[in-house]
Structure 1
Amino acid sequence: MGKRIFYFLLTNVLVLLTISIIFSVTGAGNYINAQGGIDFGALLIFSAIIGFSGSFISLAMSRWMAKKMMGVRVIDPNGAMSSEEQMVVEKVHRLSRAAGLTHMPQVGIYHSPEVNAFATGPTKKRSLVAVSSGLLHQMDDDAIEGVIAHEIAHVANGDMVTMTLLQGVVNTFVVFLARIAAWVASRFVKEEMAPIVHFVAVIVFQIAFSILGSMVVFAFSRHREFHADRGGADLAGKDKMVHALQTLKAYSNRMKGEEQTAIATMKINNRRKSALFSTHPDLDDRISRLQAK
């Protein structure tokens, strides 16, 4: 269920790179002083402008980006709906009202065999809750309600806006440090080559530091998942929220078993993904915390 974070970060990196390249090509926001050194005050202001612009543009594009990249089909609540679509819309609207939302999120379904769902959008008034066809086919009614309640909790908590502010701070440091590192790298080449090296190095270092900075965002995401679990339990009931996580765990274990069988057949080593780059905590941790609530 990390699609919300993945597409936000992907959009952020692309927007940040685009803005940075435009500024570099046009010469806007010059932070090199007359002596060829860095004006750190000017660079910090320049970095904050780019950093927060990138994160807020990413937030504004998040709902549109998710629809396009995931192929989400938005359901018209006033139009003709199948029984499955009606069930999803009813749950989203009922839980949204329970969470105190005055504007109902857009509701969408996208075709994917994965058991997945996500919530995104720039504001509570312009949010989107989408579920995969795989989730609808492999989870029972109580588990589906628990998952949707979890996503509604993300919307009600304003997690996307909070993440945008955090991403803006991270972006500022990424831009700031990337330009210092690029300036240092340009000192080691001939003077006529320095501008080219500086331009290329800015892009390389910015991508590298963005990857490192994403670990901070991922850590925040893992922290907010526990809050969304508690919010989902308040909305749908703790039993349904625990049941949803247990169902997801059973699905994950089944997928791991199939993957390990395929890997063993092809004689490929299975390497576990580092927790530092995970958007979600371990399911056992989430279940145990929720049960102890």
Structure 2
Amino acid sequence: MLRIVLFVLTNLAVMLLLTIVVKLTGIDVYTQREGGINLQGLLIMSAVMGMGGSFISLAMSKWIAKRSVGAEVITQPRNESEAWLLDTVRRQAEQAGIGMPEVAVYEGPEMNAFATGMSKNNSLVAVSTGLLQSMDRAQVEAVLGHEVSHIANGDMVTMTLIQGVLNTFVIFFARVLGTVIDRAISGNRDGGNGFAYFAIVIALQIGLGFLASLIVMWFSRWREFRADAGGAHLAGRQKMISALERLAGNHGESTLPKAIQAFGISGEGGIARLLMSHPPIPERVAALRAAA
């Protein structure tokens, strides 16, 4: 429950901040002109809201992730297992040519891990206690390689750019179509936007947002194949295959919040393939075997 509240409050705070920015800069004034919509002004406002929200979320991603799952960053290893985790991530980061990520462990019964952060040199790799308890070190090494590959590939930034662009067009087209539909229904082309307009815009944003999510999930699935290949390169192909096969038995519900589930190694989340953030594990294993 705490994770849901934190997620909702964070998103509300981001939207409130962007709304204040739009109001203070007067961008919203330029979205309307006499007799119609100022498309250029509306596009600028949509970009501020869409791209701004995505990049603020990216900048806060490590902070949100740590507090959402209660991850404890390893600063001084308390035991041999933590020392091994740090050494493994450090070696893989050097191989991948990125800065040393923060390494954290969080309490979670499922086998999972995730990477997040604003850049290749400012990132976090976190693993669940369930993964450490259920996998041998060869498999954990492959999982770490998978997450380090996400960072090296710049997946967090690319995902943010895609999400930001899509958010921009969702906001833009929802308002353009909302205005057209509202005026067609009311028959008042010169009238101001009323309650019906805002209801239409909200409905359109939900519908267009769903279509946009299909594109985001497609990219998420594609980058998982690429991260698997990176994990195979850093740790060994057979280790990566073994880790994925072990993950196939991961039936526990993910404790990761929705905001970072797509960054985990596990979790095919979705009721249909188009809504999955991860490809089915048999397909990922088949891709690795085919590449060999």
TM-score with structure 2 setting the length: 0.81
Q: Residue type matched to 2:101 in 1?
A: P
Is the Cα–Cα contact under 8 Å of residues 15 and 58 in structure 1 kept in the other structure? Answer: no
Matched, 1:97 2:110: no
Greater CA deviation, 45-54 or 162-171?
45-54
Answering whether residue 63 of structure 2 is matched by residue 67 of structure 1, we say no
Specify the code of the residue in structure 2 equivalent to 1:140. D
Shift of 1:184: 3.3
* Secondary structure at the counterpart of residue 149 of structure 1: helix
Match of 2:223 in 1: 224
The letter for the 2-side match of 1:134 is G
Long gaps (5+) in structure 1: 1-8, 257-271
Aligned AA (2:216): V
Contact 1:52/1:171 (8 A) holds in 2: yes
> In the alignment, is residue 87 of structure 1 matched against residue 88 of structure 2?
no
Partner of 2:33: 33
Q: Which moved more, 1:144-153 or 1:210-219?
A: 210-219
CA distance in 1, matches of 2:187, 2:67: 45
Aligned partner of residue 94 in structure 1, secondary structure: helix
Q: Structure 1 residues 41, 200: closer, same or farther in 2, change over 3 A?
A: same
Question: Structure 1: how far apart are the matches of 2:38 and 2:216?
Answer: 29
Q: What is the CA deviation profile of residues 79-99 of structure 1, one whole-angstrom value per residue up to 9, with x for unaligned ones?
A: 241222222212111111111
1:275 CA drift (Å): 1.1
Structure 1 equivalent of residue 51 of structure 2: 52
- Deviation at residue 51 of structure 1 after TM alignment: 1.7
Cα distance in 2 between the residues matched to 1:68 and 1:210: 27
Q: Alpha carbons of 1:207 and 1:17: their partners in 2 closer, same or farther (altered >3 Å)?
A: farther
In 1, the alpha carbon distance for the partners of 2:228 and 2:105 equals 22
Letter in 2 for 1:284: P
1:209 deviates by 2.5
- Cα distance in 2 for partners of 1:54, 1:62 equals 12
> Aligned match of 1:136 in 128, 132, 135?
132
Aligned to 1:260: none
Residues 150-169 of structure 1 mapped to structure 2, 5 A cutoff: 150-169=146-165
Q: What is the percent sequence identity of the aligned residues?
A: 44
Which shifted more, 165-174 or 142-151? 165-174
Supply the distance in 1 between the matched residues of 2:19 and 2:181 (Cα, whole angstroms): 18
**Contact 2:115–2:126 (8 Å) recurs in 1:** yes
Alignment partner of 2:277: what SS? coil
Query: Cα offset for 1:203?
Result: 3.9
Alignment check: 8 A CA contact 1:136 1:144 kept? yes
Partner Cα separation in structure 1 for residue 163 and residue 272 of structure 2: 21
Contact in 1 for aligned 2:73/2:105 (Cα 8 Å): yes
Q: Which has the larger displacement, 55-64 or 149-158? A: 55-64
Q: Map residues 86-235 of structure 1 onto 2, 5 A cutoff.
A: 86-101=83-98, 103-187=99-183, 188-189=185-186, 194-235=193-234
- The answer as to whether partners of 2:123 and 2:151 remain within 8 angstroms in 1 is yes
Alignment check: 8 A CA contact 1:19 1:50 kept: no
Structure 1 CA distance, aligned partners of 2:288 and 2:178? 46
Q: Which amino acid aligns with 1:84?
A: S
Q: What are the superposed Cα offsets for residues 238-279 of structure 1, whole Å, 9 maximum, x if unpaired?
A: 111111111111334xx59xxxxxxxxxxxxxxx72111111
Shift of 1:129: 0.1
Tell me the matched-pair count: 264
Amino acid in the other structure paired with 2:86 = V
User: Over aligned residues, Cα RMSD in angstroms?
Assistant: 2.7
- Give the deviation of 1:147 after TM superposition: 0.5
- In the other structure, the counterpart of 2:281 is 283
**SS of 1:43 mapped into structure 2:** helix
Alpha-carbon distance between aligned partners in 2 of 1:283 and 1:195, rounded to the nearest angstrom: 49
- In the TM superposition, what is the alpha-carbon distance from 1:23 to its structure 2 partner? 6.9
- Residue 208 of structure 1 and its aligned partner are, at CA, apart by 3.7
Contact between 1:12 and 1:54, CA under 8 Å: does it hold in 2? no
